Structure 1
Amino acid sequence: MALGKIFNTVESNGLIFLRLGLGAVFIAHGAQKLFGWFGGAGFEATIAYFEQNFGIPMSLTILAMATEFFGGIGVVLGLLTRVAALGLAVVMVVAVVLVHLPHGFFLNWACHEAAGHGYEFNLALLAMSLTLVVSGAGNLSADKWLSEL
């Protein structure tokens, strides 16, 4: 069955750590944008900011916010991991190209307001996401359980 291939995964117990870390980061960032949690701007302000500063239309901003939050949940649970991780990878490519690339590689913590953040963190998240796209969720995941049905 073709649908079963979505849930296929490599035999690995170690991917749980990658999934938990990656998922936590994206759940938190998505929650900032969607709900204003953790010091975030919230839904309407995020839409306005993305439109004004990056020319990203509302529909794509909503898709990105939902991908971060719900994709993060999917990655943590190991549910539809390849699909969720692919969405997160696309969000990171867009973030690098539209936001972080002009600021160089490093995060620039000491002077982030003036210099802006580089793309090193986004690159790490992109690499983590692509690892899950290629490998799947590993053992200890909903995908693994569903692949065995």
Structure 2
Amino acid sequence: MAGHGAQKLFGIFGGMGLTGTGKGFDALGYHPGKVYAVICGLSEFLGGLGLALGLFTPLAAAAVIGVMINAMVTVTAAHGLWAPEGLEYNMSIASVALAIAAIGPGRLSLDRPFRWGKGGWREAGVALGLGGAAAAVVLAI
């Protein structure tokens, strides 16, 4: 996920950068596109890094879940569940983020000393609730 965010934010790894990604977001109905490209790029980049490092894990999972919900609603839902561009990939990413929040980020995580570093139902609920609420706000706007 951090790589996807870096594509949007910095134009690396074959990405289009903010200008190109912003045009894509405009075409999807997100106006102004460049602002939403920044929001999406930061959510993917920071959410991906947070999950990889085990840093603020429930918030990182929420960022990833929120982006995946938006992707499912605006892009992949029209392609069905199993089509090459279907929902299953986005659902898998969101599920993994939720699972990491639920089971905890692991022994080597930066969250290890904190309560949320051990995972649990509360952490999973925070990740799913915040991610879903953020996605709903973005979709409503």
Specify the TM-score bucket, using the shorter chain as the normaliser: 0.7 to 0.9
- The one-letter code matched in structure 2 to 1:66 is L
Q: SS at the partner of 1:144?
A: coil
Please state if 1:94 is matched with 2:70.
Answer: yes
Gaps of 5+ in 1: 1-25, 109-116
**In 1: Cα distance, 2:66 partner to 2:82 partner:** 21
Distance 2:76 2:108 in 1: 34
Structural RMSD (CA): 1.7
Counterpart CA distance in 2 for 1:63 and 1:97 is: 17
Runs of 4+ in 1 over 3 A off after TM superposition: 145-148
Taking structure 2 as the reference length, what is the TM-score of the superposition? 0.74
**Identity percentage of aligned residues:** 37
Residue by residue, what CA displacement relative to the aligned partner does 1:55-102 show, whole Å, maximum 9, x if unpaired? 113433311110101111111110001101111001001100100000
What amino acid is the match of 1:32?
Answer: Q
SS at match of 1:143: coil
1:146 CA drift (Å):
4.2
Q: TM-score, normalised by structure 1?
A: 0.70
- Give the distance between the partners of 1:136 and 1:106, measured in 2 at CA: 29
Q: Which runs of 5+ in 2 are unaligned?
A: 118-141
In the alignment, structure 1 residue 54 sits paired with structure 2 residue 28 = yes
Take 1:88 and 1:143, find their aligned partners in 2: how far apart are those partners? 18
Q: Bigger relative contact order, structure 1 or 2, given CA contacts below 8 A and separation 6+? A: 1
Match of 2:9 among 18, 34, 43: 34
How many pairs does the alignment contain? 114
